[in-house]
Structure 1
């Protein structure tokens, strides 16, 4: 997949999905599906399958505050590539773009720059200055070449509960509350943390639970502080074979109050694993929230609780086969 920052490099004409697509969740995938190459075969195979997004996120531009993301840039690129998207066009969301009226956005961006033939958007998509542009404006030009995906919902848990809207904001809320099952269902895959293993204080080794300390992208949205059952992917466990390994374990996110931690950390303890992971990339899938972080009276009490957490996490392996 090509990632385009320079509009002169765009492969045209295009079939586009328009949106921010943070997280590339189930709803986003349904918006993107109509413009994938497999969908274009019977409509116009000469069009380039294109996702059009904004950098930075418009909310970040207007608030002038860094926004945490479900899928930071590299992760977003990998997810779109896995779907089969041929090019990602990132429009620089700056003062000039923000001032474009809906009509100007259509003419300058969609028609002149992208040469759009087919469009797919979500039902609530707005664009142009003060979000004045809407579905009707697109339909007036593209007609039946515009696909509008209706609001996407999902039944979850108790059947008596109303369906949950599939949205990035609801995924964020679920993560903040430790509702990993819900977040994973809305995403259509396990929520994932990818980071480099860095040197820590190695306190875990002293109580028999060595941990890998993850350095994550600064914009990555972290779930609730606490302990999680996880599955980690080690990309290069054996330099000779280059074979990746999937290993179960537990992860702690938080301040480590029992050992007077001074900053939030993400630490992973892997079951039945021995090896040097420093400077390697570790990919961690969240399986289940086990408990909130809390301060223990002693290291022995902490060790006993970690042993219990590990057994709980191992039991989830049975439940999730």
Structure 2
């Protein structure tokens, strides 16, 4: 469940902030957060392109309060105006932590050197963080997810990738002809490459082992679906928001010549998932 600290912490108590987009709240982001003091906070610049941890979902991955600033509302500010805004928002601010490639102000013309010149407190610049000589950036994690390389994405995230969706009515074939599934509408999160994945599904804070398909139902009606099957348990009448945690990919989406072949493959997908969780 998402935490909510921003409304509970008085900005006057904040003495250090980390500034960035922080989509994904991944390993490199966590290195910035480690530089904050006990009265630290996170300033997330919301560009509208965040789809790993969209909007306030970032709060789930930190015990620090997160404050959100919409980029369109501040991108016109000159460097001095941006620093003035921060000092007005956080009157006891003494320390700012940013990444090595941080830019700010109108047309992004100010960098970390400009920040040090304009801010009269301490400025900490965190160097690029790498994993096996490859830089950890949100854009690379997005690429891994779009390629279906969930294990690599999770390695860079430092946690398992998760999406949240609203339960919707499915086509009804699963329960009748195959296996029962919970169908989701996912709007804000980046979806992995079409295929079948070993997953965990969270329903009302309870975690279930599962196998999840996402993609176009090319063997049946051709429509796009995100549907998860709970292993060894019948879940009836699930409603509301459901979370899916991606662990590993089983296979790409594919078309089968008959319902029987599709059913056999679904059973094989389930067996692969069961073996994973039985390890």
1:180–1:13 CA distance, 2 compared to 1 (3 A)? closer
| TM-score, scaled to structure 1 | 0.79
Q: Please say if 1:84 is aligned against 2:63.
A: yes
Structure 2 contact 218–254 (Cα < 8 Å) conserved: yes
Per-residue CA deviation, residues 35-67 of structure 1 (Å, 9 max, x unaligned), is 2xxx43xxxxxxx42211223x0xx4xxxxxx3
Q: In structure 2, how many angstroms separate the alpha carbons of the residues matched to 1:113 and 1:98?
A: 17
Q: Please say if 1:206 is aligned against 2:145.
A: no
Q: State how many pairs are aligned.
A: 273
Q: Which of residues 72, 80, 90 is equivalent to 2:54? A: 72
Find the residue that maps to 1:34 and give its secondary structure. Answer: coil
Q: In structure 2, how many angstroms separate the alpha carbons of the residues matched to 1:92 and 1:166?
A: 24
Q: CA deviation at 1:20?
A: 0.8
Which residue of structure 2 aligns with residue 257 of structure 1?
218
Q: In structure 2, how many angstroms separate the alpha carbons of the residues matched to 1:185 and 1:248?
A: 20
Q: Which of residues 55, 67, 79 is equivalent to 1:102? A: 79
Structure 1 contact 251–266 (Cα < 8 Å) conserved: yes
Which residue of structure 2 aligns with residue 53 of structure 1?
44
Which residue of structure 1 aligns with residue 34 of structure 2?
33
Q: Please say if 1:179 is aligned against 2:149.
A: yes
Which residue of structure 2 aligns with residue 21 of structure 1?
22
Structure 1 contact 198–278 (Cα < 8 Å) conserved: no
Q: Please say if 1:140 is aligned against 2:117.
A: yes
Q: CA deviation at 1:317?
A: 2.3
Q: CA deviation at 1:277?
A: 4.0
Structure 2 unaligned spans of 5+: none
1:142–1:68 CA distance, 2 compared to 1 (3 A)? closer
| TM-score, scaled to structure 2 | 0.90
Structure 1 unaligned spans of 5+: 41-47, 61-66, 156-162, 237-243
1:50–1:151 CA distance, 2 compared to 1 (3 A)? same
Q: In structure 1, how many angstroms separate the alpha carbons of the residues matched to 2:250 and 2:70?
A: 41
Which residue of structure 2 aligns with residue 113 of structure 1?
89
CA-based RMSD of the aligned residues comes to 2.1
Per-residue CA deviation, residues 189-236 of structure 1 (Å, 9 max, x unaligned), is 1101222322211211122311000222x2211110111011222326
